A and B are shown apart, each in its own frame.
Chain A
Amino acid sequence: ETGVTQTPRHLVMGMTNKKSLKCEQHLGHNAMYWYKQSAKKPLELMFVYNFKEQTENNSVPSRFSPECPNSSHLFLHLHTLQPEDSALYLCASSQDRPGTGMEKYFGAGTRLSVL
């Protein structure tokens, strides 16, 4: 275990379903992230949260809705997804300080298949 736990590990959903991905970090970090890894493409940053506030939305479609109720938990709510949204969704955390970039720790990911 890396200290970042993601559930579920696998998810199959239809295009009309609503589901949520969960991420929990046990490292005491102040920043959390969602990344998307599609086949044959580099990892793409989706959202960044610092101290529960969203600081980055990398032009992500509104069918992906993040929620960060506290510094340890991050959710990604999914609705009316498309088949091209099938990918590995990775959560990460770090202890960020102004003026520096700190080491990122990743969870094992949720493998999402949209039918």
Chain B
Amino acid sequence: KQEVTQIPAALSVPEGENLVLNCSFTDSAIYNLQWFRQDPGKGLTSLLLIQSSQREQTSGRLNASLDKSSGRSTLYIAASQPGDSATYLCAVSAFNKLIFGAGTRLAVHP
């Protein structure tokens, strides 16, 4: 049974820091891995999708890497801003099933 773990559970940093959020999964037979952002009480916004054949994806200040063999992904946020404060969710996909981690709650203070 696939299990997804995210570390740390919560993170509080000053503005401007570079951050690394971690995601690990137990079964490497995945189609892709997706990172989402969720603001309090809101739905999910897709940030990055990495197919199983890819090693990384970049979008603006965000960079996500995938090491399928070791069951790990990292989300790198450069030059963090208060607007980045949210919960970040990692999810792995086996065809049409997304299995989610519990998320990392990020607070960036001015």
Taking the nearest CB of chain B, how far is it from the CB of A55, in angstroms?
A: 7
Given A42-B4, A42-B102, A106-B36 in contact, is the A101-B46 Cβ separation under 8 Å? no
Stretch from A14-22, A64-72, A73-81, A107-115 contacting the other chain: A107-115
Q: Does A104 contact B (CB under 8 A)?
A: yes
B contacts, CB < 8 Å to A? 4, 30-32, 34, 36, 41-46, 49, 51, 89, 91, 93-103
The answer to whether A108 touches B42, judged by C-beta atoms less than 8 angstroms apart, is yes
Nearest residue (CB) in B for A101 is B31
Q: Nearest 4 A-B pairs (CB), nearest first?
A: A101-B31, A101-B93, A108-B43, A106-B44
A-B contacts, CB under 8 A, total: 67
User: Would you call A105 and B46 a contact (CB within 8 A)?
Assistant: yes
Contact B96 A94 (CB under 8 A): yes
User: Which residues of A lie under 8 Å from residue B91 when comparing CB positions?
Assistant: 43, 104
Q: Tell me the complex Cα distance, A101–B33, Å.
A: 9
**A33-B98, A45-B99, A56-B97 known, 7 other contacts, Cβ within 8 Å:** A33-B96, A42-B4, A88-B41, A96-B95, A103-B32, A103-B49, A109-B42
**Structural contact, A43 and B41, CB atoms closer than 8 A:** no
CB neighbours (8 Å) of B100 from chain A are: 42-43
B34–A104 CB distance below 8 A: yes
Please, which residue of chain B has its CB at the minimum distance from the CB of A50?
B96
Which residues 25-68 of A have a CB within 8 angstroms of B?
A: 31, 33, 40-43, 45, 48, 50, 55-56
Task: Sample 28 A-B pairs with CB under 8 A, ordered by A number.
Answer: A2-B43, A4-B43, A31-B96, A42-B4, A42-B101, A42-B102, A45-B97, A45-B99, A48-B97, A55-B96, A56-B97, A90-B44, A92-B98, A96-B96, A100-B95, A101-B32, A101-B96, A103-B32, A103-B34, A104-B91, A104-B93, A104-B98, A105-B46, A106-B36, A106-B43, A107-B43, A109-B42, A109-B43
